[in-house]
């Protein structure tokens, strides 16, 4: 089969997005085009791995980040802002720094090595579980902050009202706090997911570049460029652009809806 | 201990506010917590509900101890209904779901039923709507209904009308009066509006600067010259009266209180009905002899029981109706000059000329 030039490929892909209005026809078209381009078959591997990593990270962040956000929003302890700052460090820390410490922590002589020994492995570095741990820490502020904001915006009153209506703290949390903070949860999960998809530095430091195991999208693009596989690189890059656009658009629509909701 | 009272005692600091409140009132009817803004009414109510915790406080309702030295029952385990100043409905739930949120799945016989509350508060047309699309008055009615359906043993209402305009207030007040009449539920009601208190309350807890000045029946406290209430601009007494006659030709109803009768212009009243009258101290003047010709229809013999001079050269006198002064109490406020000219003093029999009597609407318990 003939190889499509980069230029043509981008034309095809973007064209199919704009012209075919129904989404399914668009995506069918994209797949057909991608097939026709005869890309190296392992281009799907980093995509699948990235989606797995981002999904798992988002789920874990929801479970871990929600209680942290709740505590940060409700606690009256003076040192809670120190905890908040600690959680937010990855916002400003160079990813390589976080990656470096994670590498040490996950390695054979760190706690990660101890943990890995439980199932007979030597280290958590350069493994998928290691990537998940790194992503959770790296994307934590993007999930905790919106949820915390949503809990704070709610104020004390709904929880007080629920308590005077005989709701136990647990019931009040699930039936009042969570529904009222749902825009925060949505924002947090979208941001957490998207940010995990986009991480590069941390992954490179602790995951390396093992195809099928730790090679995620962002690293794969880098790799394709290094090996002059421009077609693959540009398909992935364009996909990321479209994905990022969708994420931002969704966030804006949510915010607009919330604003209307609140008025 | 099964005393049927609400007994509370809270001492301590809430933030920068020092609370030093202690009172005991019967657990029936409406008890108004009255005082200027910032005097700690809401703090007391939040402590009773358990929303604020003051260690060492005490709170018992109808013999059931909610808080003492050792125990503190959490909010959700106290049989209260709480109506906040703002309705605080759950915006993500429909009116019906809001009402049902605290409604126990199994109710004892004689419980406050859903249909009953909906009818009582006139919210049957709102059930499927979202609280966001309700008016302020409608919201507050739903909030009251929501609190009632938790089957409370004590209803706490923190200025439920203060966020509303006068028209909406007038729309809700009748519902509150109906509530008082229809349910055997003690209500603790915060207000800084004396008119509201006179209309609704049976008992009064007077507060100032975090302290309780006095607690007792509304009628007694209003007539207590040692309290600031009797010296305030709108000092008044409330009188529980019974309709004895209604004159169809001139529209005057005759209402009897202990030791006297009042003639009040009113819409037709049924003889035997109970009504509450309000007489302002400024509307009562005094005469040594019975005035022979006067436009004032209510002239009642009374005795001066005690007096208190005010800084503004006026005198407030406590009167007892009837020849021996043993009847209902009235307040009269006159100038120092006329007081001295008439040579008035406690113990003297006089005629109280009552310029205005307000009929405070009130439906008595049907039971």
- Beta strand pairing status for B5-14 and B17-26? antiparallel
Distance CA B240, CA B299 (A): 18
Looking at the structure, tell me whether residues A20 and A82 fall in a common domain. no
Question: Which position has the token pair 């126990």?
Answer: B104
Taking the CB of residue B151, how many other CB atoms lie within 10 A of it?
17
Instruction: Walk me through the domains of chain B, giving residue ranges and CATH numbers.
Output: 5-222 (3.40.50.300), 236-360 (2.40.50.100)
Chain B CB within 8 Å of residue A153 CB: no
Asked if A163 lies within 8 A of B90 by C-beta distance, the reply is no
User: What percent of chain B has pLDDT above 90?
Assistant: 58
Residues paired with residue B6 on neighbouring β-strands, in sequence order: B25, B61
pLDDT in tens, chain A (263 residues): 344 444 444 444 444 444 444 555 656 666 666 666 666 667 788 888 999 999 999 999 999 999 999 999 999 899 999 999 999 999 999 999 999 999 999 888 888 888 888 887 788 888 898 899 999 999 999 999 999 999 999 999 999 999 999 999 999 999 999 999 999 999 999 999 999 998 888 988 888 788 888 888 888 898 889 998 888 898 899 988 999 899 889 888 887 877 665 54
Chain A nearest-CA distance from B20, in A, is: 24
Of B43 and A122, which is predicted with more confidence?
Answer: B43
Looking at the structure, tell me whether residues A184 and A210 fall in a common domain. yes
* Interface mutation vs chain A, best among B76, B78, B145, B156, most A CBs within 10 Å: B76
| Closest chain B residue to the Cα of A168, Cα to Cα | B76
How confident is the model over B195-248, as pLDDT tens digits? 888 888 999 999 999 999 999 999 899 999 999 888 888 899 999 899 998 888
pLDDT band for position B254 (cuts 50, 70, 90): very high
pLDDT at B324: 85
Looking at the structure, tell me whether residues A34 and A49 fall in a common domain. no
pLDDT at A45: 86
Cβ(B25)–Cβ(B86) under 8 Å? no
Q: What is the mean pLDDT of residues B35-45?
A: 91
Looking at the structure, tell me whether residues A19 and A141 fall in a common domain. no
- Domain extent at residue A9: 1-38
CA angle A49, A53, A55 (to 5 degrees): 115
- List all residues 6 or more positions away from B130 whose beta carbon is below 8 Å from its beta carbon: B91, B94, B95
Question: Which position has the token pair 């029946």?
Answer: B217
Cβ(B252)–Cβ(B297) under 8 Å? yes
Cβ(A201)–Cβ(A94) under 8 Å? yes
- Residues of chain B neighbouring A180 (CB-CB closer than 8 A): 90-92
- Residue among B51, B77, B150 whose CB faces A165 most closely: B150
Cβ(B148)–Cβ(B140) under 8 Å? no
Asked if A164 lies within 8 A of B80 by C-beta distance, the reply is yes
Residues paired with residue B205 on neighbouring β-strands, in sequence order: B33, B215
Looking at the structure, tell me whether residues A47 and A148 fall in a common domain. yes
Cβ(B200)–Cβ(B60) under 8 Å? no
Looking at the structure, tell me whether residues A98 and A149 fall in a common domain. yes
Distance CA B179, CA B365 (A): 9
* CATH number, domain with residue A59: 1.10.3720.10
- Residues of chain A neighbouring B90 (CB-CB closer than 8 A): 158, 161-162, 176, 180
CA dihedral A201, A203, A204, A206 (to 10 degrees): 120
pLDDT at A204: 87
Chain B nearest-CA distance from A188, in A, is: 20
- Residue among B81, B88, B102 whose CB faces A157 most closely: B88
Chain A nearest-CA distance from B167, in A, is: 24
Q: Give φ, ψ of B59 to 5 degrees.
A: -150, 120
- Beta strand pairing status for B58-61 and B64-67? antiparallel
| Closest chain A residue to the Cα of B155, Cα to Cα | A164
CA B174 to the chain's CA centroid: 13
Nearest to B130 by CA among B88, B86, B85, B96: B96
Looking at the structure, tell me whether residues A92 and A12 fall in a common domain. no
* Interface mutation vs chain B, best among A153, A163, A185, most B CBs within 10 Å: A163
pLDDT at B307: 92
Looking at the structure, tell me whether residues A14 and A92 fall in a common domain. no
How confident is the model over A212-259, as pLDDT tens digits? 888 888 888 988 899 988 888 988 999 889 998 998 898 888 878 776
Cβ(A193)–Cβ(A167) under 8 Å? no
Looking at the structure, tell me whether residues A84 and A33 fall in a common domain. no
Looking at the structure, tell me whether residues A153 and A237 fall in a common domain. yes
Asked if B90 lies within 8 A of A168 by C-beta distance, the reply is no
In this structure, what token pair is assigned to residue B248? Answer: 């169809």
pLDDT at A39: 66
Mean pLDDT, all residues of chain B: 89
Looking at the structure, tell me whether residues A130 and A241 fall in a common domain. yes
Write the secondary structure of chain B as one string of H (helix), E (strand) and C (coil): CCCCEEEEEEEEEECCEEEEEEEEEECCCEEEEECCCCCCHHHHHHHHHCCCCCCCCEEEECCEEEECCCCECCHHHCCEEEECCCCCCCCCCCHHHHHHCCCCCCCCCCCCCHHHHHHHHCCCCCCCCCHHHCCHHHHHHHHHHHHHCCCCCEEEEECCCCCCCHHHHHHHHHHHHHHHHHCCCCEEEEECCHHHHHHHCCEEEEEECCEEEEEEEHHHHHCCCCCHHHHCCCCEEEEEEEEEEECCCCCEEEEEECCEEEEEECCCCCCCCEEEEEEEHHHEEEECCCCCCCCCCEEEEEEEEEEEECCCCEEEEEEEECCCCCCCEEEEEEEHHHHHHCCCCCCCEEEEEECCCEEECCCCCCC
| Closest chain B residue to the Cα of A164, Cα to Cα | B76
- Residue among A161, A167, A168 whose CB faces B84 most closely: A161
Looking at the structure, tell me whether residues A11 and A95 fall in a common domain. no
Cβ(B316)–Cβ(B237) under 8 Å? no
Chain B CB within 8 Å of residue A157 CB: yes
As for how many domains chain A has, the answer is 2
Cβ(B63)–Cβ(B254) under 8 Å? no
Distance CA A204, CA A97 (A): 12
């Amino acid at each position: 089969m003939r190889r499509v030039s980069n230029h043509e490929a981008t034309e095809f892909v973007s064209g199919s997005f704009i012209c075919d209005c129904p989404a399914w026809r668009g995506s069918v078209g994209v797949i057909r085009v991608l097939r026709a381009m005869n890309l190296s078959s392992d281009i799907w591997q980093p995509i699948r791995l990235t989606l797995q990593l981002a999904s798992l990270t988002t789920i874990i962040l929801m479970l871990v980040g929600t209680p942290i956000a709740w505590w940060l929003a409700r606690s009256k302890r003076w040192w809670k802002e120190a905890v908040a700052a600690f959680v937010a460090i990855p916002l400003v820390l160079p990813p390589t720094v976080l990656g470096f410490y994670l590498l040490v922590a996950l390695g054979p002589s760190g706690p990660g090595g101890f943990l890995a020994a439980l199932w007979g492995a030597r280290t958590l570095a350069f493994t998928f579980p290691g990537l998940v741990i790194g992503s959770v820490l790296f994307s934590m502020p993007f999930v905790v902050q919106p949820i915390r904001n949503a809990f704070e915006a709610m104020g004390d009153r709904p929880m007080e009202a629920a308590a005077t209506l005989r709701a136990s703290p647990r019931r009040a949390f699930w039936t009042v706090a969570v529904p009222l903070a749902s825009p925060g949860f949505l924002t947090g999960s979208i941001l957490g997911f998207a940010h995990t998809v986009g991480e590069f530095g941390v992954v490179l430091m602790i995951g390396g570049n093992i195809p099928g195991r730790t090679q995620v999208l962002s690293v794969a693009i880098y790799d394709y460029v290094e090996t002059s596989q421009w077609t693959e690189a540009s398909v992935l890059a364009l996909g990321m652009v479209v994905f990022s656009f969708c994420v931002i658009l969704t966030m804006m629509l949510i915010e607009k809806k919330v604003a209307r909701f609140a008025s | 201990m099964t005393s049927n009272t609400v007994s509370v005692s809270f001492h301590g600091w809430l933030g920068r506010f020092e609370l030093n409140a202690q009172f005991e009132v019967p657990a029936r009817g409406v008890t108004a917590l009255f005082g200027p803004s910032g005097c700690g009414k809401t703090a007391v109510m939040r402590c009773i509900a358990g929303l604020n915790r003051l260690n060492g406080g005490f709170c018992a309702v109808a013999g059931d101890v909610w808080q003492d030295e050792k125990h503190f029952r959490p909010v959700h385990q106290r049989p209260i209904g709480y109506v906040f100043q703002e309705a605080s409905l759950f915006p993500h739930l429909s009116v019906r779901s809001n009402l049902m949120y605290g409604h126990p799945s199994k109710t004892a016989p004689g419980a406050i039923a859903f249909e009953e509350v909906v009818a009582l508060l006139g919210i049957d047309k709102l059930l499927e709507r979202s609280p966001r699309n309700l008016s302020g008055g409608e919201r507050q009615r739903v909030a009251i209904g929501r609190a009632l359906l938790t089957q409370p043993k004590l209803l706490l209402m923190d200025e439920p009308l203060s966020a509303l305009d006068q028209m909406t207030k007038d729309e809700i007040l009748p519902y509150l009066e109906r509530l008082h009449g229809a349910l055997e539920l003690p209500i603790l009601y915060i207000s800084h509006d004396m008119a509201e208190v006179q209309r609704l309350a049976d008992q009064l807890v007077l507060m100032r600067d975090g302290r309780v000045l006095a607690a007792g029946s509304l009628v007694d406290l209003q007539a207590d010259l040692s309290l600031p209430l009797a010296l305030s601009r709108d000092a008044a007494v409330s009188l529980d009266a019974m309709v004895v006659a209604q004159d169809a030709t001139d529209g005057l109803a005759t209402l009897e209180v202990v030791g006297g009768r009042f003639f009040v212009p009113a819409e037709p009243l049924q003889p035997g009905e109970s009504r509450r009258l309000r007489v302002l101290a400024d509307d009562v003047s005094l005469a040594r002899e019975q005035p022979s010709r006067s436009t004032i229809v209510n002239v009642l013999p009374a005795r001066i029981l005690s007096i208190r001079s005010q800084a503004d050269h006026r005198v407030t006198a406590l009167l007892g109706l009837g020849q021996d002064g043993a009847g209902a109490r009235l307040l009269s406020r006159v100038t120092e000059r006329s007081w001295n000219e008439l040579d008035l003093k406690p113990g003297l029999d006089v005629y109280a000329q009552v310029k205005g009597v307000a009929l405070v609407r009130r439906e008595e318990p049907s039971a």
